[in-house]
Amino acid sequence: MRKERNCGRNSRSLLRNLNRKKTIMSKTMAMHQANYIPWLGFFYKIARADVFVYLDVVQYPRGQSFAARNRIKTPNGAAFLTIPVSIPKGHEGKALYSEVTFADDKWRDKHIKSLTLNYKKAPFFNDIFPMVQQHIGTAPNLLELNISLIESVCRLLKIDTERIRLSQILDDFGQKTDLIIDICRAVNADAYLSGTGGGRDYNDENKMNAAGINLIYSDFKHPVYKQLWGEFIPNLSVLDLLFNLGPDSRTVLLG
């Protein structure tokens, strides 16, 4: 697997801190590529883990991906906000996530206008939107946009799970289940919290058990809450929850 060198973000210090936190109690790791304004289940998984790892230097997914799009609610139902991305020439199908750039900047105004048009009447729009607008307006690339938005949402939801990048803890790693095992060992985790969707393709439970890692699947159940525009629609961006419920969002998401 192609791999960037780490970014020099005090990797050794991070690992020492993680190692100090190891106790006789189970430690759970979750991981995921940083998606664009993710759905609620993404943040539920972060909150239920002891450490969450951003997969910043793995292969960017082929085709349409939630790394560059997500759904919001409009008067006509759910609609996608999609970011046009550019893959380095010759790297099609094998580019690292960290190599992906914006194809143009027109999407920034389009997304800001669309969010404003569809959520300006939401009770907490004015409280949340300035943060979103700042990240959309200034992010240099897709990876930094998505991580910065996720970090801001975690702060709003008071999610205190330790969050680090793969590039901060490993220079070399395997694929699929081997990647999970490598990360668990790097952060001294003995349990892996998986989503119930595409993540199942990565999970060789027998191999994890042989490595001393317990496989756990997320028990996320989508809450129903008050939205704009009529009948409830699940599986939207977390922004829909935040714009509508503001400070009550954490309780609705995590109980």
DSSP 59: B
CATH: 1.10.15, 3.40.50, 3.30.530, 1.20.120. Which one for 11-254? 3.40.50
Contact 42, 193 (CB under 8 A): no
Which neighbouring-strand residues pair with 54? Answer: 32, 165
Alpha-carbon Rg for the chain, nearest whole angstrom, is 18
pLDDT at 89: 81
Q: What is the pLDDT of residues 73-125, one digit of tens each?
A: 999 999 999 999 999 887 777 899 999 999 999 999 999 999 999 999 999 99
| Per-residue tokens: 39 | 């759905």
Residues of the chain with pLDDT under 50: 1-9, 21-23
Domain locations in the chain? Answer: 11-254
| Per-residue tokens: 187 | 């952060």
What's the pTM? 0.89
